[in-house]
Structure 1
Amino acid sequence: DPQPFFTSKNFSSLNKDILYGLLERDDLQIEEIVVWDSLIKWGIEQTPGLGIRNSDRSKWNDRDFEALKETLNQFIPLIRFVEISSTEYFDKVRPYKAIIPNNICEEIEEYYFKGTLPKTATLPPRTGFQKIESIIIKPKLTRIIINWIERKDSNYNRNKKDVVFNFNLIYRRSRDGKNIIRKRCAGKGAVLILIKVKYSEKIFGGYNPIGWDDADKKYNRKNFHYPKQINQYLSTTESFIFSFENNEDIKNMEISRVVNSSYAIFNHLGNGINFGGGDLALENGRLSLSYTGYYECLNRNNDEFLMNSNYYRDQYEVEEIEAFRVVTHSNL
């Protein structure tokens, strides 16, 4: 994890050639906004007339910004601006707009407003860094989930030859409403579910590689008939449920893979989501966890949970839910 180094006090004294070599790397597994913040701090320390005695940007004049621009001129094109969210850009990049070449600024702002990929800032995303439009988890947790999907070790360092994953947001509770997640996920193929619970930093989720059927489209109104797979279990060996202690947690996470593949996903008519026999279930705005034996136990460190088996349910009020369609393609 390079982040502790980038945010350390010693980073500001780093040799410029070494810094350039670092920023060039495509395999730097760190959030781009952290790279930007660290570069700005480095530039301030390296610029005559700035530094500790003149680090308050609100007191700078045009000459101060021009001096910082000259210091960072060769490094700005190495920043992957498309990996910085529009919110982060507004809060942390825009205040330094004067040091960024006009053509790059215009292209990046066009990207945020219109989704047009920049022509000048064409560097690829850093390998191992996975962009996801989530307010629940950070990109570094997405890399762990991808490794789980591919049955790799959680800490596996991805490279250019690895399959690329795209996560397309199809549902967010705070944006779309409470009881339509099932409808939004239906017919979308592989889906990743993320759940943030109330009164805790805990995050839960599940990966369904085969998706849920669209009951509304398959309903035969003339004969009042649903196909057999509705209100039935769907079989897969690749689904799993998981938890993180918080959106920074890369050590205490848990993954529970399906054990009985015939009962992996319950394809029911309700408005919720159900993995197994309620091993992880969303219904009416509440999250419940049970141990039915269809999945490995998600609360393996909870003795009470294990002792009570499927008679015991851990229930949580939900703060936020997100669902992403998972699409893969090759880099080669």
Structure 2
Amino acid sequence: MTNQFYDHLSNDLAQLLKSGFNYDVSIEVEEVVNTYKVHSIILQSRSPYFKKKFDKINFNESHVKVLKLPNISVKVFNVIIKYIYSGKILLEKLESSIIFDLLVASNKLELNELVEHLQFYLINNNYSWLKQNFAQVYRTSYKVKSFKIIRDFCEDIISKYPNTIFESKNFHSLPEDTLISILKRDDLQLEEAKIWEYVIEWGKAKNRTLPTNLSEWTSVEFTSLKETLNQCLQHIRFFNISGDDFMEKIYPYRKLLEQQLFLDINTRFITPTNPISSIVLPPRKILKPKLPTRISRIPFPSNIITNEHALEISSWIDKKETPSIENNPYEFKLLVRGSRDGFDVKTIYNICDKVSKTIIILKIKGTEEILGGYNPLEWDKNKNRYKKTEDSFVFSLKTANMKNSILSRVEEKFDCAIVNSPKHSWLGFGDALCLNGNLKTEKKCYCMFGSAYPKPIRSKEFMTTYTFVISDISLFSVEEYEVFKISPRK
């Protein structure tokens, strides 16, 4: 039996990195130079990239080889060099964007084991970020052969949920070859007429000078767009588009089509049995029953949040890194709505008395922010007191004006995590989110720094530091609010 002492080996090599003892390579990272004193024998044995590089570099007068890596950040290289020496990597505290940069850098440095691990990690733990940055992620995975795991994941999402990329903010910047790879898919779950509309939209984005009004276009404009879309149009399945859609969506752009193709499409509508010379692509394989829409309203009549928001909140309740794609494990039962039941905080206490596991959602007046908090404990309409919990959290949700959602969990001062104060018409999650009086007519709500919830859920200018010196900009009222009871779905 062979005894293995990998932990000691890993720790000893990590100490060697830290000390820089007998180093023979100096690696300079980023434009603002950060220097790492490392050992060529270790880096060469772990990475083919470093072996090839060091073979081409001569020692200087100090018997040290100098290598510059200007396109890798210090944050990323810190993780990589520790992995090379110790075989260990800690990703939980890294931002998703840094992990993706780490994947790109690991591929460049030919750290194949790490490239595979990071792809699985991103898919399993950073789904929300991958979805929000889908066009960038797919574009990168399409270009890099070794990103097959991420690429397969992206293509599966594209085929089942095409709006993920067609409705993304980066769709117009998608390279032509990437768009064509999507158009070629037989399993793209989208009506052909809608695909045509997206392709036209992409082409127009490449020709910014085109008049907005189609009636103002001359042959010059049509020729310009036709040249842009030449390769893409070959993959539109024109013969699977209905007559109504053809007349409404394609006929106005008929000058983009080759004359023979246009004649053949019309022939099919008029005399379907007559032969045609154009290539007829097969219909796409649309799955039945129809797949649920990823971004749709939650199944109850919410005026504020979407199903995507509800899935994200549910993942926070379960302390999961990645929201479910669909099938929310929790039922959201509407208890209170301001426009229906009234906006006074006492209304929340009266309706939610003795109810636990509630989510409060607020749509902030004037900023369109969506803020909220989760209380796993019961509200009490008869007694003022602080309540202790380690499972509550506050948040702001992604909106058109908010790039990413922000989650702030209670991390200290657990004894005052929840403020239950019906006699003062006051409700709070520590000082991180405080609701006072009439939420609509009175501007008395605020969010404070340095509370039991350390991560601010609003931008700096809207936060306050002291309750007795609150600037007007830090106070807010709401357009609407809703309170939901959260229960496991049967």
Given candidates 308, 315, 336, the residue that maps to 1:171 is 336
More helix by proportion, 1 or 2? Answer: 2
* 1-structure distance, mates of 2:397, 2:242: 44
- SS of 1:151's equivalent in the other structure is coil
- How do 1:257-296 and structure 2 match up within 5 A? 257-258=409-410, 259-270=412-423, 271-277=425-431, 279-285=433-439, 286=443, 287-291=445-449, 293-296=451-454
The aligned residue for residue 142 of structure 2 is none
Does 2:401 correspond to 1:255? no
Larger radius of gyration: 2
* 2-structure distance, mates of 1:193, 1:275: 11
- How do 1:89-238 and structure 2 match up within 5 A? 131-153=299-321, 156-158=322-324, 164-179=329-344, 180-215=347-382, 230-238=383-391
Checking the alignment, whether the CA contact within 8 Å between 2:357 and 2:375 is kept in structure 1 is yes
Checking the alignment, whether the CA contact within 8 Å between 1:132 and 1:142 is kept in structure 2 is no
* 1-structure distance, mates of 2:285, 2:187: 16
Checking the alignment, whether the CA contact within 8 Å between 2:314 and 2:330 is kept in structure 1 is yes
**Higher relative contact order at CA 8 Å, sep ≥6: structure 1 or structure 2?**
1
The aligned residue for residue 32 of structure 1 is none
Question: How big is the shift at 1:291?
Answer: 3.2
Question: How big is the shift at 1:137?
Answer: 1.8
Aligned partner letter, 1:244 = L
* 2-structure distance, mates of 1:303, 1:47: 52
Checking the alignment, whether the CA contact within 8 Å between 2:334 and 2:484 is kept in structure 1 is yes
Structure 1's 192 and 247: CA in aligned 2 closer, same or farther, altered over 3 A?
Answer: farther
The aligned residue for residue 206 of structure 2 is none
Aligned partner letter, 2:357 = A
* 1-structure distance, mates of 2:467, 2:296: 43
Checking the alignment, whether the CA contact within 8 Å between 2:187 and 2:285 is kept in structure 1 is no
The aligned residue for residue 47 of structure 1 is 241
- SS of 1:18's equivalent in the other structure is coil
Task: Please report the RMSD computed on the Cα atoms of aligned residues, expressed in angstroms.
Answer: 4.1
Structure 1's 159 and 139: CA in aligned 2 closer, same or farther, altered over 3 A?
Answer: closer
- SS of 1:294's equivalent in the other structure is coil
Given candidates 381, 394, 397, the residue that maps to 1:241 is 394
Does 2:242 correspond to 1:77? no
Query: Percent identity at matched positions?
Result: 24
For residues 280-315 of structure 1, what are the alpha-carbon distances to aligned partners after superposition, in whole Å with 9 as ceiling and x for unaligned?
A: 224222422223522214257527846x34444421
Runs of 4+ off more than 6 Å: 8-11, 71-74
TM-score normalised over the length of structure 1: 0.58
* 1-structure distance, mates of 2:335, 2:194: 37
Aligned partner letter, 1:41 = K
Checking the alignment, whether the CA contact within 8 Å between 2:187 and 2:284 is kept in structure 1 is no
Structure 1 unaligned runs (5+)?
A: 24-34, 57-63, 86-129, 216-229
Aligned partner letter, 1:317 = S
* 2-structure distance, mates of 1:293, 1:272: 17
Structure 2 unaligned runs (5+)?
A: 1-130, 132-157, 173-178, 198-237, 251-268, 273-282
Question: How big is the shift at 1:321?
Answer: 0.6
Checking the alignment, whether the CA contact within 8 Å between 2:357 and 2:376 is kept in structure 1 is yes
Structure 1's 48 and 39: CA in aligned 2 closer, same or farther, altered over 3 A?
Answer: closer
Does 2:486 correspond to 1:326? yes
Checking the alignment, whether the CA contact within 8 Å between 2:394 and 2:457 is kept in structure 1 is no
For residues 250-285 of structure 1, what are the alpha-carbon distances to aligned partners after superposition, in whole Å with 9 as ceiling and x for unaligned?
A: 52x222222211001122224443221474224222
More strand by proportion, 1 or 2? Answer: 1
Structure 1's 133 and 47: CA in aligned 2 closer, same or farther, altered over 3 A?
Answer: same
- SS of 1:289's equivalent in the other structure is coil
Does 2:475 correspond to 1:315? yes
- SS of 1:237's equivalent in the other structure is coil
